[in-house]
Amino acid sequence: MKSLSGSRAFGRIGVVFIVALLWLVAFAAAQRPVFATPTVDRIVVAKADRTMTLMRNGQAFKTYRVALSREPVGPKEREGDHRVPEGLYTIDSKNAHSRFHLALHISYPNPADRERARKLGAKPGGNIEIHGLGSTYGWVGSLQRQVDWTDGCIAVTNIEIEEMWNIVPVGTPLEIRP
């Protein structure tokens, strides 16, 4: 009988020990510093160089090679001209259900774009994004940069847009240079 009660006592001690150990592990994990995902505070696209630089605190954080539209030279003037806009914009929304994998929507047209299109008697267009390649062409990866193929957007690989998705908040200023 004594051995049975001894094993029960050991069982209780073992359970108490395991509970205490789990509590200590949880407490230690809670005391670790939490590192926030770094966010960028500005994006600069240089169309002539086919680059997009994510900026943080005035410093380049990461630079990507990009593909542009079929008409890469000159600012977007009107709907259907297949050009990427030039000027100051913001990332005004994110589209997790984009046909191009993920997309960061650009606040085009701005007031100057609307005025330019009005003077031409045209609509300014819209739906300009920084986006990936979509599920059908995701396998192309970085080869997509060999050809300007978008319809006024800025394209990166699916892996790159996934990186950006977490560090580019809505409201981030964007400058698109010639």
16 and 63 both lie in a single domain: no
93 and 24 both lie in a single domain: no
Closest CA to 46 of 37, 55, 57: 55
Range of the domain at 28: 1-35
Q: What is this structure's pTM?
A: 0.75
Closest CA to 164 of 110, 99, 103: 103
Question: What is the DSSP track for 25-82?
Answer: HHHHHHHSPPPPPP--SEEEEETTTTEEEEEETTEEEEEEE-B-BSS-SS---STTS-
102 and 166 both lie in a single domain: yes
Look at the chain and report how many structural domains it folds into: 2
Give, for all 178 residues of the chain, the pLDDT tens digit: 555 555 555 566 655 555 554 554 455 444 444 456 789 999 999 999 999 999 999 999 999 999 999 888 899 999 999 999 999 999 999 999 998 899 999 999 999 999 999 999 999 999 999 999 877 655 556 656 667 888 899 999 999 999 999 999 999 999 999 9
